[in-house]
Amino acid sequence: MVRMAHVLDDFLSGGAAGVEEAVRKAAAVEILPRFRQLAAHEIVQKNGPHDLVTVADRLAEEHLTASLTTLLPGSVVVGEEAVHADPRGLDALADGDPVWIVDPVDGTRQFVHGDPGFATLVCLAHRGELLASWTYAPALDLMAVARRGGGAELNGVALRSGSPEPGAELRVAISHYDFTTDEQKRVLGALDTEGVAVRPCGSAGLEYLHVAQGSLDGLAFSWENPWDHAAGLLLVAEAGGVSGTVAGEPFRVTGGNALPFSAARDEPTLRHILGLLASAG
């Protein structure tokens, strides 16, 4: 355990720049050439008409799996598409090997519809601890990087989430209703109240970036897929923001969380959002 901690420290000190290059290359080779160029047979429904996967998702994940495990020998990948094929892949999150948590195209629906609001998300974790993350929106030329204890940056400029203006209406993005049950809709509906401006979220990774930038005050999600949240949670935390579940506990990428959970620019905003959600539970 101690030796692995040293290995990861050494990697993050000297090899992490290679991760950004790998993420950019995967997007350049497998994603951007297919943006607004997808054929009908390259788009497949996974769990219904709103849950889509494309050839770009699959090939980008394969590309990243090869490149990231080469950069950090002994590491494994927990990727959205691989776990969809074999859910046992999630078990790696609690094992002793370093884990790359990968969402090759976060916001596949946006990608399919030609909307540039999609991202590639990569987070390095060990035994559930988030160590570093990369949030890359290739069509928007945005690269956000965070390192545990080392801060967060967007295109090389430091990110600070700050706090909402006193008395201002809170801007909160919530789980899109296309992906929620009736009970989840009811609980999330508690946020549709005076002083809160609610809208459905797009790419989860980019919504986390908006919180880290301070252009969005908070998020509320009803699902816990680690590839949707790991990179963004670390990004928000390193920008000065906070997160938590309705049970008053930290969100665990290893799963088993009380839901919904929230991320916000500051502690008072988080408490307000979670309080509203808890009141409907």
Distance from C-alpha of 246 to C-alpha of 262, rounded to nearest angstrom: 8
Say whether domain 170-279 belongs to CATH 3.40.190.80.
Answer: yes
Average pLDDT over residues 101-125: 96
Distance from C-alpha of 261 to C-alpha of 249, rounded to nearest angstrom: 9
Average pLDDT, the chain: 94
Distance from C-alpha of 262 to C-alpha of 243, rounded to nearest angstrom: 5
pLDDT at 133: 98
Q: Does the annotation list 103 as a binding residue?
A: yes
pLDDT at 47: 65
Per the CB < 8 A criterion, the answer to whether 54 and 38 are in contact is yes
pLDDT at 17: 84
Q: Does the annotation list 178 as a binding residue?
A: no
pLDDT at 53: 84
Q: Does the annotation list 80 as a binding residue?
A: yes
- AA letter at 23: V
pLDDT at 134: 98
6 CB neighbour count, 10 Å cutoff: 9
Distance from C-alpha of 188 to C-alpha of 82, rounded to nearest angstrom: 30
Digit-coded pLDDT (tens) for 25-75: 999 999 999 999 989 888 887 665 557 789 999 999 999 999 999 999 999
Instruction: List the domain boundaries for the chain.
Output: 2-158, 170-279
28 CB neighbour count, 10 Å cutoff: 12
Digit-coded pLDDT (tens) for 218-238: 999 999 999 999 999 999 999
Going by DSSP bridges, is the β-strand pair 142-147/129-137 parallel, antiparallel, or unpaired?
Answer: antiparallel
The full DSSP string for 121-179 is: EEEEEETTEEEEEEEEETTTTEEEEEETTTEEEETTEE-----PPTTPPEEEEE--GGG
Q: Does the annotation list 106 as a binding residue?
A: yes
pLDDT at 252: 96
pLDDT at 49: 53
pLDDT at 106: 96
**Residue in 240, 208, 246 with CA at minimum distance from that of residue 227:** 208
Average pLDDT over residues 115-126: 98
Digit-coded pLDDT (tens) for 232-267: 999 999 999 999 999 999 999 999 999 999 999 999
Average pLDDT over residues 158-181: 91
pLDDT at 194: 96
pLDDT at 4: 85
Topology, domain 2-158? Fructose-1,6-Bisphosphatase; Chain A, domain 1 (3.30.540)
Percentage of the chain lying above the pLDDT 70 cut:
96
